[in-house]
A and B are shown apart, each in its own frame.
Chain A
Amino acid sequence: MTAQVPISVSGVDDSGVHLTSAQDIVVDVLFDGRRIWSFWTVRDTEGDLAAWPRMLTRFLDGAATISVVEHLSGTVVFDEEVSLGSGQGRIAVVDAEGRPLGLDKSNRIVTTFDTRDAAHTTALLDSTEQLLDELRAAGVDAFPAYGTLLGAVREQDFIGHDSDVDLAYVSREKHPADVVRESFRLQRHLKERGYAVDRYSAAAFKVDVVEADGTVRGLDVFGGYFLDGMLYLMGEIGTPFEEEWIFPLGTCRLAGRTLPAPAVPEKLLEATYGPGWKVPDPAFHFETPRATHRRLNGWFRGNRVFRNEWDARYSGGVRDRVPSGGPSELARFVRQQEGQIDLLVDIGAGRGGDALWFARQGISTMTLDYAHGSSNGVRRLAESEGLDLDTSWLNLHELRSVMAQGARIARREGNVVLMGRHLVDSTDARGLDALVRLARMGLARGGRLYLELDVLRPGEAYVAGGRRDIVRPKDLHSVETALTGGGAVIVLSTRSEDTRASGEPARPVARLVAQWQR
């Protein structure tokens, strides 16, 4: 390669790549000849440093031949043996099974297509076709979108630095509420056929497809619709668009298969990636206009408050382990207060340790939690012990989820007891209102709600320490007001001291017991 590249890399160290660049151009960083990361030389640098992305730093201990290569021309601007961290051994950016990993355009660590074998791609294409067929059977004409469509149109193949398959459909509905209803209907259609569906918003979701070798692959499905000459498509598009550019669908070629495509796919690619879509950019970032972002947020989003954080808390095998140790103090308190319990519902049950304790006493027990499968370990153990323990999913930010679970509980006879330990302090005001609705429905025929939560000291304002700080103390009076405003009678309200016996300061904890008039 002889092209003149206006970049000079002065070195690579533990902080990142040091460079000066006269132009903003995209470069790939290779470890021992394999692309790991791509960035823009001006947009993604501060001073002379392109810092290592956070997701990559845990791998950076050892030695590697690191190359910095201009993406489009292939010109090598840096190529040296580099020691990072302790410098011991070779740096291996691989997963637990030794599969090569790289960073995608959002700097997520993933297995990108450029390291996958043909069998892998064949399985992915099979899954893609299967899901397209399911969606067609459910009444929408879906097609590959975003990076998948870009690869199909530009290279008739997957893009090497991409990592997933995106599908989209444009609804024939004309009102956002109907677009949402249609999305619910699609979800129901898929779940009835055994697919796991995880909702991103009221118009987009992920579908898990189980492949022949048992691998579970998540495919994203984004919904969109036309409104007054504009195409709105989750999660980034709001653009003037002709319906004839989508319908009737045409076809595209992807890795040897013929798949559906918008009638004029180039128009959708231009709307997605701008007029430069034909030029590869492995570090592309979407820049959504504020008005589009607000519209898509207002119509379709808001149902995943802290969801990623809660899923992360139960990841890495945590959800499969049965908690050790005894029941919580709240569980013991509930047992002391109540005589016969005919149904115990632990809302925000987490791994379900308390629920297991109740179920082992012969009590019919139900867990509800926001994180999918958070009590998998307890569920399996309960099944093996023949216990009456039901584990279900609840999203306090989806009204239909709250009302359906409320109706299920309301149908149960006898003394129904609900408990929520550090539930109120793990949700927001909307979630609290939804909890009140759930309890009001579930306890319409009697029974009590027991809550335990971290509370603020008088005059204290809580400043959350970032997104990982997901248990946030609440003002006790506000919580009581939300309950009584929803028709509850508070029969007990206590607050622990905010110092321990040793004199150490402690976060005060409140306990509330509420019931509804029959």
Chain B
Amino acid sequence: MAAVTGDSSKGSLRNRVVERVARTVAGDRLDKLQKRLEDLEAEVQENRQLNIRLAEVTDLVEQLLLPMAARDEEKIAAAIEKYSRTV
């Protein structure tokens, strides 16, 4: 499967030195910022995942509303059967 690359995985000497200096200067604000960044990333991802939910509901409503609007019981039954068979 695909490998995933990320900047944070680079544990070079330079990165470690930069982190040590930053920590000395920024104190625990760095930890707080890092935590906030992780929270924000998680929130962004939660929002992205709404796209699938929205698409699923829209697709289902679109496929089932038409036979319902026609008030045709046979067509409603057929639409539900067809929808579940083509998912």
Decide if B3 is an interface residue (CB 8 Å cutoff): yes
User: Which residues of A are found within 8 Å of B60, using beta-carbon distances?
Assistant: 399-400, 403-404
- CB atoms of A408 and B84 under 8 A apart: yes
- In the complex, are the beta carbons of A399 and B3 less than 8 A apart? no
Q: Does B1 contact A (CB under 8 A)?
A: yes
List the A side residues contacting B1 at CB < 8 Å: 106
Tell me if A307 counts as interface (CB < 8 A to partner B). no
Are A236 and B80 closer than 8 Å at their CB atoms?
A: no
**Cα(A181)–Cα(B45), bound, Å:** 19
Contact with B along A286-299 (1 / 0, CB 8 A): 11111001110111
Q: How far is the CA of A236 from the CA of B55 in the complex (A)?
A: 22
Q: Residue A58 at the B interface, CB < 8 A? A: no
B14 at the interface (CB under 8 A from A): no
Partner of B85, one of A191, A297, A399, A411: A191
A408 touches B2 (CB 8 A): no
**B59 and A181: CB pair below 8 A?**
yes
Binary interface profile of B, 49-85, with partner A (CB < 8 Å = 1, else 0)?
A: 1011111111110001000000000000100110111
Interface positions of A from 367 to 420, Cβ below 8 Å from B: 392-393, 395, 398-401, 403-405, 407-408, 411
A286 to chain B, nearest CB (A): 4
B86 to A399, Cβ gap below 8 A?
A: no
Contacts of B5 in A (CB 8 A): 287-290
CB distance from A296 to the nearest CB of B (A): 9
**Interchain pairs with CB closer than 8 A, number:** 107
Report the minimum CB–CB distance from A188 to chain B (whole Å). 4
Instruction: Check A235–B59 contact: CB distance below 8 A.
Output: no
Of all chain A residues, the one with the shortest Cβ separation from B57 is A399
Main secondary structure of the interface of B (DSSP, over half): helix
Interface contact A411-B80, CB-CB below 8 Å: yes
Contact B2 A286 (CB under 8 A): yes
Judging by beta carbons under 8 Å apart, are A411 and B77 in contact?
Answer: yes
In whole Å, how far is A282's beta carbon from the nearest beta carbon of chain B? 17
CB neighbours (8 Å) of A518 from chain B are none
> Closest residue to B48 on the A side, CB-wise?
A298
Given contacts A236-B2, A287-B5, A288-B2, contact A399 B53 (CB under 8 A): yes
Separation of A180 and B3 alpha carbons in the complex (Å): 25
CA distance A415 to B87 in the complex (A): 27
Interchain CB contact under 8 A, B51 and A188: no
Residue of A nearest to B60 (CB): A400
Q: A202 to B55: give the CA distance in the assembly, Å.
A: 9
Please tell me if B13 contacts chain A, counting CB pairs below 8 Å: no
B17 within 8 A of A: no
| Chain B interfacial residues counted at CB < 8 A | 32
Closest to B8 in A: A290
Main secondary structure of the interface of A (DSSP, over half): helix
Whole-angstrom distance from the CB of B33 to the nearest CB of chain A? 18
In the complex, the answer to whether B84 meets A392 with C-beta atoms within 8 Å is: yes
Contacts of A13 on B, CB cut-off 8 Å?
A: none
Which residues of A are found within 8 Å of B11, using beta-carbon distances?
Answer: none
Residues in A neighbouring B44, C-beta threshold 8 A: 294, 298
**Alpha-carbon distance A384/B78, docked complex (angstroms):** 25
User: Contact at B55–A181, with CB atoms within 8 Å?
Assistant: yes
Q: Is B25 an interface residue (CB 8 A)?
A: no
Distance in Å: Cβ of A409 to nearest Cβ of chain B = 10
Which of B3, B6, B45, B77 interacts with A297 by CB under 8 Å?
Answer: B45
Is A285 interfacial (CB 8 A cutoff)?
yes
Q: A187-B86, A411-B80 are in contact. Are A180 and B4 (CB under 8 A)?
A: no
A327 lies within 8 A of chain B by Cβ: no
- If A191-B85, A400-B87 touch, whether A287 touches B51 (CB-CB below 8 Å) is no
The CA of A176 and the CA of B56, in the complex, are separated in Å by 12
Tell me, yes or no, whether A40 is within 8 Å of chain B by CB: no
- A293 B86 Cβ-Cβ under 8 A: no
A46 within 8 A of B: no
B56:A298 contact, CB within 8 angstroms: no
Residues on the B chain within 8 Å of A293, using CB: 2, 4
CB-CB under 8 A from A404, the residues of chain B are: 60, 80, 83-84, 87
Once the chains are docked, how many angstroms separate the CA of A293 from the CA of B13? Answer: 27
Q: Which residues of chain A are within 8 angstroms of B59 by Cβ–Cβ distance?
A: 181, 184-185, 400
Verify A398–B87 contact, CB threshold 8 A: yes
State in angstroms the CA–CA spacing of A464 and B52 once bound together: 28
B48 touching A405, Cβ below 8 Å: no
Known: A188-B86, A405-B84. 7 other contacts (CB 8 A): A192-B86, A287-B5, A288-B4, A295-B48, A407-B64, A408-B81, A411-B80
Listed from nearest, the 4 A-B pairs whose CB atoms lie closest are A298-B48, A180-B55, A404-B84, A290-B6
Can you give 17 contacting A-B residue pairs, CB < 8 Å? A106-B1, A177-B58, A178-B55, A188-B86, A202-B51, A286-B3, A288-B4, A289-B5, A299-B52, A300-B51, A300-B52, A393-B87, A400-B83, A401-B84, A404-B80, A404-B87, A407-B64
